[in-house]
Chain A
């Protein structure tokens, strides 16, 4: 799966599972500051990513995800390692 596929699927999940505003989602968008995702929402985000892509994201790796782009990168790395 390439980055574009991951971004596309992640975007769908953010809209359908987390109810985020599709118009605000881009690779540079910060989850907390730009997309209004609070601390509970971050956990929901991680769970949704794990379910969608079949990966496990431990807490120490989750701490580094602040933007949509960072989330795409993490999934890409996990799926291709």
Chain B
């Protein structure tokens, strides 16, 4: 008998390379639109990788005062923009005199923090000296500031924290936020994740590690998860935000419920700093744990939003992991990688993909894996190739894995 508090999703917001709000994002997922292109943020000449999925038509001045922008790395801006959408979508506000504000918190995931500021400030230090470094540099850089800023903006006085687990960060954040509500420490959690790392340094360093696609002459076809011709991931950027809420409270106030939070599983590979453990047993344990937490079996799962980065190692290993965790059902469950369209939002990916998974369940259409052309014998499952598929599913899973061997799986269900 399970008597723990139940958690539902009542608000969502996104800022992604394929759409700056939920509807635009969904439209791109349904049309199979890639957000990748030549890097415009800096001059990538001479670098191995010269492509990325940058935000389109994003202007900070549409969202913030000039005085604020000077103190906000894009990492923070992106989360604040997505968070405003999610809070508005949920119909929630906590004015200064609202006693419920102490029952609302924030949990944000991110991979780096304010990387662009960090790079710029180090360059100032080297070129001009210590007394020219900005006094607002550190608050722009530290990875937890997105959570702090969101609590300030929305007057959220409860638990406020941050998870930094590379590309699984925002999946961890969503799971941790749900746990906080389950154990009664808060009733509402603004959660999700953010990343703004399309910088010369990150593209150079990821490129040196041979993690990025070098299909520079064909950017929209560069990210091709599970395809035999995949050659690395394409960096993305942006944020995803969700409002999680204790179910009884959400129902009592008549909130629109998108999904119920079902389960949270995590595990460590304990194997290598960047490579997944061969055979996928680490990732499989996260999926198994998430299903157990949701009290379901493999046959209940109707869709998996894969981590699916388009690296040779991830996609083969994740395929193996799904087989370990789901057994024969692995061959029946539709799986797709929306990174084929969004690029890899790194610390924000888990949140963006949780939202994609929830929308797929709500709208009864599964987003495709685009650029899937040549099957890889090591990737022999159903990846919903190239076109969306109509399907009514009751349980969805979203996988997120991070450098360091972090494996996270989240399960959501159709609201009952």
User: Nearest Cβ in chain A — how far from B131, in angstroms?
Assistant: 8
Q: Is the CB of A19 within 8 A of B136?
A: no
Bound CA–CA A44/B67 (angstroms): 12
Q: Is the CB of A19 within 8 A of B132?
A: no
Q: Is the CB of A43 within 8 A of B135?
A: yes
User: Nearest Cβ in chain B — how far from A32, in angstroms?
Assistant: 14
Bound CA–CA A43/B70 (angstroms): 14
Q: Say if the beta carbon of A47 comes within 8 Å of chain B.
A: yes
B68 / chain A contacts, CB cutoff of 8 Å: 19
Q: Is the CB of B70 within 8 A of A19?
A: yes
Task: Identify which of B66, B131, B136 contacts A44 (C-beta below 8 A).
Answer: B136
Task: Identify which of B67, B131, B134, B139 contacts A19 (C-beta below 8 A).
Answer: B67
Q: Say if the beta carbon of B65 comes within 8 Å of chain A.
A: yes
Q: Say if the beta carbon of A6 comes within 8 Å of chain B.
A: no
A29 / chain B contacts, CB cutoff of 8 Å: none
B136 / chain A contacts, CB cutoff of 8 Å: 40, 44
Task: Identify which of B67, B69, B71 contacts A20 (C-beta below 8 A).
Answer: B67
Q: Is the CB of A44 within 8 A of B135?
A: yes
Q: Looking at chain B, what size class is its interface with the partner chain?
A: 10 to 19
Number of interface residues of A (CB under 8 A): 8
Q: Say if the beta carbon of A18 comes within 8 Å of chain B.
A: yes
B69 / chain A contacts, CB cutoff of 8 Å: 19
Q: Is the CB of B135 within 8 A of A19?
A: no
B134 / chain A contacts, CB cutoff of 8 Å: 44, 47
Closest partner residue, chain B, to A47 (CB atom): B132
User: Nearest Cβ in chain B — how far from A57, in angstroms?
Assistant: 11
Bound CA–CA A19/B69 (angstroms): 9
A47 / chain B contacts, CB cutoff of 8 Å: 131-132, 134-135
Closest partner residue, chain A, to B138 (CB atom): A40
Bound CA–CA A18/B135 (angstroms): 12
A25-50 interface code vs B (CB 8 A; 1 in, 0 out): 00000000000000010011001000
Q: Is the CB of A18 within 8 A of B132?
A: no
Bound CA–CA A44/B140 (angstroms): 14
A51 / chain B contacts, CB cutoff of 8 Å: 132
Bound CA–CA A44/B132 (angstroms): 9
User: Nearest Cβ in chain B — how far from A3, in angstroms?
Assistant: 26
User: Nearest Cβ in chain A — how far from B278, in angstroms?
Assistant: 49
A40 / chain B contacts, CB cutoff of 8 Å: 71, 135-136, 139
B131 / chain A contacts, CB cutoff of 8 Å: 47
Bound CA–CA A53/B301 (angstroms): 66
Bound CA–CA A19/B71 (angstroms): 10
User: Nearest Cβ in chain A — how far from B139, in angstroms?
Assistant: 8
Instruction: Find residues 113-144 in chain B having any chain A CB closer than 8 Å to their own CB.
Output: 131-132, 134-136, 139
Please list 9 pairs of residues, one from A and one from B, whose beta carbons are closer than 8 Å in the complex, sorted by A's number: A18-B70, A19-B67, A19-B68, A19-B69, A19-B70, A43-B135, A44-B134, A47-B131, A47-B134
Binding site for A on B (CB under 8 A): 65-71, 131-132, 134-136, 139
